[in-house]
Amino acid sequence: MEYIDFEDKNIVVVGGTNGMGLHLVHKLLELKANIIVLGRNINKPELNDIKDKCHFLACDISNSKEIDDTFDHIHDKFKTLHFAVNNAGVTAPYSNISELDIDKWKKIIDINLTGTAHCLKREIQLISQNKSGAIVNISSCAGLQALRMQAAYSVSKAAINMLTQVAAIECAVDHDGAHSIRINAVAPGPILGGMNNEENLQKNPEKTQRKLSITAMKRFGTAEEVANSVLWLLSQKSSYTTGVILPVDGGFNSGKFN
């Protein structure tokens, strides 16, 4: 599928220094976008080959001042945004609610929900200077179905889904009809990479099999498949789509499988 929407357009990828976010950055580079990459660590060796092709900004989205300072810088340098992807997020150790560590709960909510909401606020302000634009939030299948032992993560992603839909109806058209911002979310299932790297999968084959068994397709997804879904939602190929939470999960959300 060819895209012409992104050439010379400004797009911020929050959480774009590893995993699915970094894969998306590489895809956007192929599409000749002007990419602003936000991440806590922008000095990773794996970023060296694209350091001169993107604008990297260090930002911890659990820190509201850092978010404001970062988006002030984006405004000063780029004046406007056309697209945004909010991919930053963290997980927590498995725990029953009865044994929940409230400090870890707060950390998850601060980053996954509050930090994303703050970024979304600033992105909407910058994108609304244009006639149209689009934002994609990265949610999770854990935000669509309850998962045992993952209360903080699941609640944070379920809240992202609702945040996405509230923002979508608020930004579908402004009161003067001057601009429209489409806002959607992608909810990935088990994706290769990160915690699902080859070493971890081989180390615990029983756990690996459990992850595979929750999907109808009986396989892991790839960062490429997630990136393709994000690009479609950002592009004009989905021009009548807003407020959607798109599962990219091999059928996990469709039911339970043996």
| Residue 211 Cα distances to 26, 192, 217, angstroms | 27, 11, 11
Catalytic residue among 3, 94, 153, 240: 153
CB 28 within 8 A of CB 50: no
CB 12 within 8 A of CB 38: yes
**Per-residue pLDDT tens digits of the chain, which is 258 residues long:** 567 789 999 999 999 999 999 999 999 999 999 999 999 999 999 999 999 999 999 999 999 999 999 999 999 999 999 999 999 999 888 899 999 999 999 999 999 999 999 999 999 999 999 999 999 999 999 999 988 999 999 999 999 999 999 999 999 987 676 679 999 999 999 999 877 888 888 998 888 898 888 899 999 999 999 999 999 999 999 999 999 999 999 999 887 654
Cα atoms in the 13 Å half-sphere on the side-chain side of 150: 16
97 CB burial (10 A radius; 0-12, 13-18, 19+): exposed
pLDDT value, residue 1: 56
User: Does the active-site annotation cover 240?
Assistant: no
| Cα separation, 234 vs 238, whole angstroms | 7
pLDDT value, residue 240: 95
Sign of the alpha-carbon dihedral angle for 215, 217, 220, 226: negative
pLDDT value, residue 164: 98
Task: Kindly report the pTM of this predicted structure.
Answer: 0.94
- At position 71, the amino acid (one-letter code) is F
